[in-house]
Amino acid sequence: MKDKVDFFIVGAPKAGTTSLHNSLALHDEIFMPEIKEPNFFSSAELRSDNLYYNEIIISSLSDYEKLFAGAGEKIKGDASVSYLFYPSTASKIFNYNPEARIIILLRQPIERAVSHYQMDKRLGFVNAPMEAIFADEGNNAPSYFQQYFQLGKYAKQVKRYMDLFPESQMKFFLFEEVKNDFRKVMKDTLLFLGIKNLDSIPVSENQNASFDFNLPLLSNLYRHARIRKRLKKAIPERFATSLMKTFSRKSKSDISDKLRIQLKEFYRDDILALSQLINKNLNHWL
């Protein structure tokens, strides 16, 4: 529909959405707003949940439309990972633009939970062990239980979109595909968006991988959102990538055997339901 956002990358968090967003933003025929996650269609839910991220929330349609004021004739995209989890978001997007294309990236839910937890711990949002958060089942810290564990129960979340949008307007990628052959993911995405010129497939070096800093000082500085944003603007992407490789190490993803067994049971039925729903073999997730 003319003047509407054309496609939405709706999640899941920690499943490769940042890599896809950043690379699509480099394409000459695509416009992604400066704010990566406007969260417009989930603004009410995010405010109600009172999450701990202090993220930007665009709540008025006029402000949302202003984000795309410079798009011209380019294909417009919104990559807000909060759009997958909340029950009413799919219908809000459908009512806004029933012709929109929906891109959903999914990651093995235990790996996703661990990666999400590590990110929050690195940013100083959480200190409690994952085992304690899962055992608490959200009684005392509902936001943590939601963000690390409930977000990984994908079947109902995905079904809400599939009930509204035709199959031809939906595209699914697994994190393994993003990790193992990102250029193919980009090519498939561009074709899905109707872009036929594939002579140049841009790939951003600015990824969102899990890591830990080697130096405590850098770790403490990174926890301040304002400092992170200023550094991103001031330091060229290639140089920033080089610095990250020099002063950071890959995060350890180990969790206790007990918690891993508990989470396998927690997600088993949902993975089986999701596999049938999207017609993808997910046995390796089990």
Helix (H) or strand (E) holding 75, with range, is: strand 75-79
C-alpha span between 153 and 283 (Å, rounded):
16
Q: Is 172 helix (H, G, I), strand (E, B) or coil?
A: strand
Q: What is the pLDDT of residues 211-258, one digit of tens each?
A: 455 555 554 454 444 454 555 556 665 555 555 555 555 555 568 999
Residue 181 tokens read as 């052959």
Q: What is the pLDDT of residues 117-144, one digit of tens each?
A: 999 998 888 989 999 999 998 888 888 9
pTM (two decimals): 0.85
Q: What is the pLDDT of residue 89?
A: 98
Instruction: Provide CB contacts within 8 A for 270, sequence distance 6+.
Output: 109, 152, 153, 154, 155
DSSP state of 214: S
Q: What is the pLDDT of residue 140?
A: 82
Mean confidence (pLDDT) of the chain: 87
Asked whether 57 and 47 are in contact (CB, 8 A), the reply is yes
C-alpha span between 67 and 137 (Å, rounded):
38
Among candidates 32, 75, 10, which has minimal Cα distance to 206? 32
Residues composing the chain = 286
Q: What is the pLDDT of residues 138-196, one digit of tens each?
A: 888 888 999 999 999 999 999 999 999 999 999 999 999 999 999 999 999 999 999 98
Q: What is the pLDDT of residue 226?
A: 47
Domains and CATH numbers, the chain: 7-210+251-285 (3.40.50.300)
Q: Is the dihedral of CA 201, 169, 80, 178 positive or negative?
A: negative
Buried b (16+ CB within 10 A) or exposed e, 186-210: beebbebbebeeeeebeebebeeeb
C-alpha span between 135 and 75 (Å, rounded):
45
List beta partners, residue 106.
174
